Amino acid sequence: MLLNLDKVRQYFPALASEWTFFDNAGGSQTLKKVVDRISEFLLSSDVQLGASYAVSQLAGERLALATRGMAILINANSFKEVVMGPSTTMMLKVLSICLGQTFTSGDEIIVTNCDHEANIGAWVALEKQGIKVKVWQIRPDTLELHLADLEALMSPRTKLVTLTHASNVLGTINPIKEIATFVHDRNAMICVDGVAYAPHRLVDVQDLDVDFYALSFYKVYGPHHALLYGKEEHLLRLPGLNHYFIQQTDIPYKFQLGNVNFELSYGMLGLCDYLSELAQLHYGDKTAPDLRSQMVQAFDLISIHEEELSDRLLSYLNSKPNVRVIGQSKADRKLRVPTISFVVDGMNSSTIPAKIDQHYIGIRYGDFYAKRLIEYLGLALQGGIVRVSMVHYNTLEEVNSLIEAFEQLF
């Protein structure tokens, strides 16, 4: 079954503009359903939670609904495992401060050199308190992380391994489930940055068996707001960051400084509605009975379409002798997301997007805050990479137009 793009695109009013959005890994377009939910909250329940009057009760119920919806989205065991906040960078910083208090000098953390800085810098900052940070590097030939290299880095002092689910530059999906088993077998925890993965595939924190997982809603068709998952046992055990009188057992609140953004949290229920409708639209009377299974159906369609988009663009880029794809060169949806990066021989990457702008197609170049990766690849002087980041609402026609524009350039 194929994704009905005409129907899909109607859910995103911004797609009616003349622009083609191919910078989705920077931020996706927002679902009208999300915007409607945000308005609904602000226009009819914009009060403080916890009072006895009906409007305050309604606000509380709406926030609880949203947290439960997000727990379903990532398949958390409990809504208490869903911490929300302004950005993934902030959530990982909060986590590093809280986790750091449970580590002692000489303990070790392993980060990668292919992550966004949000999931590196926060951990490196713990070096100040005597934590040793080691770097798990991708191999230069495959541009992939290999478990044998992690093995060599792990020691009895390793407390945490932290890495990205999908690279926001390479597009490559890391086999998190396998890595989590490997890490747990060696008595360490695993923290995963799911920002570049979550717009494309359905997250299942229980199946992956991760200890912590973060994602940003503005890349998953919502507003600038983020989620941090933590296993309940860890969240209960860790010190919080909130006021001294907030109970140690009060999760997720003890990690949410001040009020969490009520309206943006509530807005994300619009994503649940959308995924459910996608399933209904395509599966009719074969629609799965519960929300989580409908999400599985929706993301199945999404990933099939995305693979087709990747295949079209990668086939073109791989056929050009002067172009080097940086990352997974196959379109296979199990191996990559449709975030595709490349460099062109003899061209500074900075010169390319501005020429593509003229075709009303938005792409971009740079290091995308995966600065250590771009430096490791030796691409800093070339202006980093050019990145075309697609999502399921993009069409093959849009990819064809981009290819035509590229043809005029290189």
Ligand X SMILES: Cc1ncc(COP(=O)(O)O)c(C=O)c1O
User: What pairing do the DSSP bridges indicate for beta strands 108-112 and 158-164?
Assistant: parallel
Q: Helix or strand or coil: residue 77?
A: coil
Shortest separation between residue 140's beta carbon and ligand X, angstroms = 21
Nearest-angstrom CA–CA distance, 281 and 278: 5
Closer residue to ligand X (CB): 85 or 252? 85
Q: Helix or strand or coil: residue 160?
A: strand
Shortest separation between residue 26's beta carbon and ligand X, angstroms = 6
Shortest separation between residue 217's beta carbon and ligand X, angstroms = 8
Nearest-angstrom CA–CA distance, 264 and 37: 8
Shortest separation between residue 66's beta carbon and ligand X, angstroms = 18
Site for ligand X in 170-199 (CB under 6 A): 193, 195-196
**Interface with ligand X includes 389 (CB under 6 A)?**
no
- Cα 247 from chain centroid? 30
Closer residue to ligand X (CB): 196 or 331? 196
Shortest separation between residue 343's beta carbon and ligand X, angstroms = 19
Closer residue to ligand X (CB): 88 or 294? 88
Nearest-angstrom CA–CA distance, 67 and 341: 34
Shortest separation between residue 271's beta carbon and ligand X, angstroms = 16
Shortest separation between residue 38's beta carbon and ligand X, angstroms = 18
Shortest separation between residue 305's beta carbon and ligand X, angstroms = 21
User: HSE of 407 in the Cβ direction (CA atoms, 13 Å)?
Assistant: 9
Site for ligand X in 70-89 (CB under 6 A): 87-89
x/- map, 217-236, ligand X, by CB under 6 A? ---------x----------
Listed residue (223, 208, 206, 127) closest to 174, CA to CA = 208
Task: Pull the structure tokens for residue 290.
Answer: 């519960």
Closer residue to ligand X (CB): 40 or 375? 375
Listed residue (126, 124, 71) closest to 97, CA to CA = 126
Closer residue to ligand X (CB): 182 or 369? 369
CB 195 within 8 A of CB 88: yes
Q: Helix or strand or coil: residue 161?
A: strand
Straight-line distance from the first to the last Cα atom of the chain, in angstroms, rounded to the nearest whole number: 36
Closer residue to ligand X (CB): 221 or 406? 221
**Interface with ligand X includes 256 (CB under 6 A)?**
no
The amino acid occupying position 286 is: K
In the block, residue with structure tokens 């046992």:
233
Q: Which residues contact 254 (CB under 8 A, 6 or more apart)?
A: 235, 240, 241, 242, 246, 247, 248
Closer residue to ligand X (CB): 216 or 329? 216
- Cα 255 from chain centroid? 20
x/- map, 356-375, ligand X, by CB under 6 A? --------------------
Site for ligand X in 46-75 (CB under 6 A): none
CB 365 within 8 A of CB 383: yes
The one among 82, 110, 118, 192 contacting ligand X by CB under 6 A: 118
The one among 28, 112, 158, 216 contacting ligand X by CB under 6 A: 216
Nearest-angstrom CA–CA distance, 335 and 138: 15
With CB under 6 A as the rule, give the number of residues binding ligand X. Answer: 13
The amino acid occupying position 12 is: F
Closer residue to ligand X (CB): 29 or 89? 89
The one among 30, 96, 168, 341 contacting ligand X by CB under 6 A: 168
Closer residue to ligand X (CB): 278 or 385? 385
As a residue count, the chain comes to: 410
Closer residue to ligand X (CB): 76 or 220? 220
Q: What does the binding site for ligand X look like in residue numbers (CB under 6 A)?
A: 25, 87-89, 116, 118, 164, 168, 193, 195-196, 216, 226
